[in-house]
Every structure is written in structure tokens, then in C-alpha cells.
Amino acid sequence: MKSARAVAHTNIALVKYWGKRESSPADLNLPAVGSLSLTLDRLRSETTVAPADQDSFHLNQEPASGEVAAKVLRHLDRVWQAAGHAGARPTCEVRSHNYLPTAAGLASSASGFAALTLAAAAAFEYDPGRPALSALARRGSGSAARSLWGGFVRLDRGVLPDGSDCRAYPLQPQSFWDVRLLIVHTEKGPKAIGSTAGMQRSRDTSPYYGPWVDTSEADLAAAEAALAARDLPVLGDILEHSCFKMHACMMASRPPIVYWRGATLDVIHAVWRLRAEGLRGYVTSDAGPHVKVLCAEDQAEELAVRLRAVPGVHAVDVVGPGPDPTVEVSA
């Protein structure tokens, strides 16, 4: 094997992903619904996979162990097996750094597993093309499939049992539309309920889970058309609708899953008030307490200033569309 370094950017789903399909083996990690996302600039993971005397994983310069390290090493096994190499996988040193908060509803797993997949494939001299690597990245994290490209990306749920038609693909490049996403931080630290456990609970107990799945394809089609037309109000209406349907499904689970805090709701209401005043921002929120606001580039700074004044807001980051991943290989 060789040593390889990959940089992949995280993404935010504008049309949401929540829930998994039954699959055999279970680690196919097949989404119950498709999704449409925006890859973000600056917020990224940088990962190196290199030969070593024994397997190890360092995250943000600290040695990692337990389930976190086990998930990374299992993913290396997947990539090695997909490459079709004979014999056991060589032992590897994996070093990853997240330039974004980890486990706080900001999709660190998306950029993390995208970068890991690309670096491992390059280190193992495996190049099946980005669509196939997208399907591999999905097995580590569902949202990672979308971080194989910059700009706007769609992931189809697929229907085949083996997941071969569940791949992401680019819709529009980074340069297509000069929008901004405000990331409004309303809490510090990791979230209480992981996404995987939350999805399982919703599927098993929420009466809204079936309607959530059944209506997702219409949202995707409408969002893709609005994106192609660069129609911010229409796309904004769809992304808010998708967000609140997802959180309604979560809240109707038993026991309820409520990621939001008081500041989360205060920010949402503030965005709606500001929109009535002419600052056109549209809210979405993933499995966490933070709020993301999609807006035009020329209104982003004013919106950020106004939202930083909301009590309970720790920070507001302004980010734009992000680039494709990069990979570097050395002997």
C-alpha cells in the first residue's frame, strides 16, 4: 500500500435524510429516503491513511479507541475488500482532523468518512470512480456519500437490496449559485442521542415515520427544480417543510427525541421575523440543537449580525458552497 491524504468537506441536507432501510448485511446502511445537500466551504475533514506496524487511529491529534476507532478500522476493511486484494488488509495508521465541531449536529461524520474512504482507496490503489466510492462512503455514514462532491448533491434511496443503486451524484457545482449558509450555534458539546439510535427509535415508534418516508420523493423533485431555477423562496419553503416534517417525526417517537433547545426555537422565530422585514433567510436543522439558515450572499452578513444578538446564541458562522474533495498520494 501507499500513503494517501484526502480532504473532504461536510455537507448540510436541504431535503433531509432520516431513517434507514432494512438490509442484509446491516452495514449496507441504506437510507429510507433520498436527500439533497449543499457541500460547505471551510468545514472539512483531513485524513491520512499510511502503512504502519499496527492499526491505530488519531482524531484531532489524540489517540482514539473503543467504538470510534472500531468503526474506522471496519471501514478500512470494507475498502480493502471492495478493492479485491488477496490476503488480509495491511495494518494502517489513520490520522484525521475535523475542522468543525464533532458530534454536534454539524455532520462531522459526513466529511470524516468521505475523507477516510478517499484516502483508503488511494492508499490501497483502488480507483473504481467516484460513484462507487460514494456507495462505500455511505456504509460508514449515510451523509458521507454526498461529500464526495462539492456544490449541490443528491443521494437517491434506491430500491435494490444490495444497495448498488443507492449512490450520490452531483447536481450543480460549487460555482453554480452564490448562496450562503449561516450556522447558528445554540449549544456547546456533543448531542445526547446519536443519529443512528434516533433513526431506529423513530422507525420503530413514531406514527409519523411512514408519512415522512412516503412524501420525501416529492420534496426531492421540487427542490431539484427550484435549485435549477435558482429560486431561493421556493427552495427555502421546501427545505423548511422537510426540516419540520423530520423533527415532527422525531418528536412523535417514544420516548420523544427533541434535539432543540430554547435558543433553537428563538433563532427560528427570529429568522421568520427578519424575513417579514425583508431579510430572506430560510431555516433548517439537523439532528442537533443548531440552526442553519440558507440565504442570499448579499444579505448574509446582516442576518448574521441580527442572529448573533439572539440570547443563547454562541456564534454564527457564514459559509458558502464548498469544493470537490482532494486526494494526494505518496509512496
% of the chain at pLDDT higher than 70: 98
What's the rounded mean pLDDT across residues 251-275? 97
C-alpha to C-alpha distance for 28 and 135, rounded to whole angstroms: 9
What pLDDT score does 252 carry?
Answer: 98
Helix (H, G, I), strand (E, B) or coil at 196: helix
* C-alpha atoms less than 13 angstroms from C-alpha of 169 in its C-beta half-sphere: 8
Task: Report CA-CA distances (Å) from 263 to 243, 289, 317.
Answer: 17, 8, 16
Of the candidates 255, 44, 4, 11, the one whose C-alpha atom is nearest the C-alpha of residue 145 is: 11
pLDDT digits (tens, 9 = 90+) for 160-171: 998 889 999 999
pTM higher than the cut 0.75: yes
328 pLDDT higher than 60? yes
Residues near 56 by Cβ (< 8 Å), separated by ≥ 6?
63, 69, 92, 93, 94
pLDDT digits (tens, 9 = 90+) for 85-124: 989 999 999 999 999 865 445 668 899 999 999 999 999 9
C-alpha to C-alpha distance for 149 and 156, rounded to whole angstroms: 15
Report yes or no: 179 and 294 within 8 Å, Cβ to Cβ: yes
What pLDDT score does 190 carry?
Answer: 74
53 pLDDT higher than 90? yes
C-alpha to C-alpha distance for 318 and 316, rounded to whole angstroms: 7
Amino acid at 183: I
249 pLDDT higher than 50? yes
What pLDDT score does 189 carry?
Answer: 73
C-alpha to C-alpha distance for 171 and 177, rounded to whole angstroms: 12
What pLDDT score does 175 carry?
Answer: 98
What pLDDT score does 250 carry?
Answer: 98
pLDDT digits (tens, 9 = 90+) for 137-162: 999 999 999 999 999 999 999 999 98
Of the candidates 214, 226, 231, 94, the one whose C-alpha atom is nearest the C-alpha of residue 157 is: 214
pLDDT digits (tens, 9 = 90+) for 305-322: 999 999 999 999 999 999
Report yes or no: 124 and 80 within 8 Å, Cβ to Cβ: yes
Please state which of the ranges 30-39, 69-78, 93-102, 137-146 shows the lowest mean pLDDT. 93-102
Of the candidates 146, 150, 171, the one whose C-alpha atom is nearest the C-alpha of residue 226 is: 171
Task: Report CA-CA distances (Å) from 192 to 197, 198, 315.
Answer: 11, 10, 20
Which domains does the chain carry?
Answer: 3-175 (3.30.230.10), 179-319 (3.30.70.890)
Beta bridge partners of 168: 155
What pLDDT score does 107 carry?
Answer: 63
What's the rounded mean pLDDT across residues 124-134? 96
What's the rounded mean pLDDT across residues 47-70? 95
The cell for 315 is 456564534
% of the chain at pLDDT higher than 90: 89
pLDDT digits (tens, 9 = 90+) for 170-221: 999 999 999 999 999 998 877 778 888 999 999 999 999 999 999 999 999 9
Which single residue is written with the C-alpha cell 413514531? 206
What pLDDT score does 103 carry?
Answer: 46
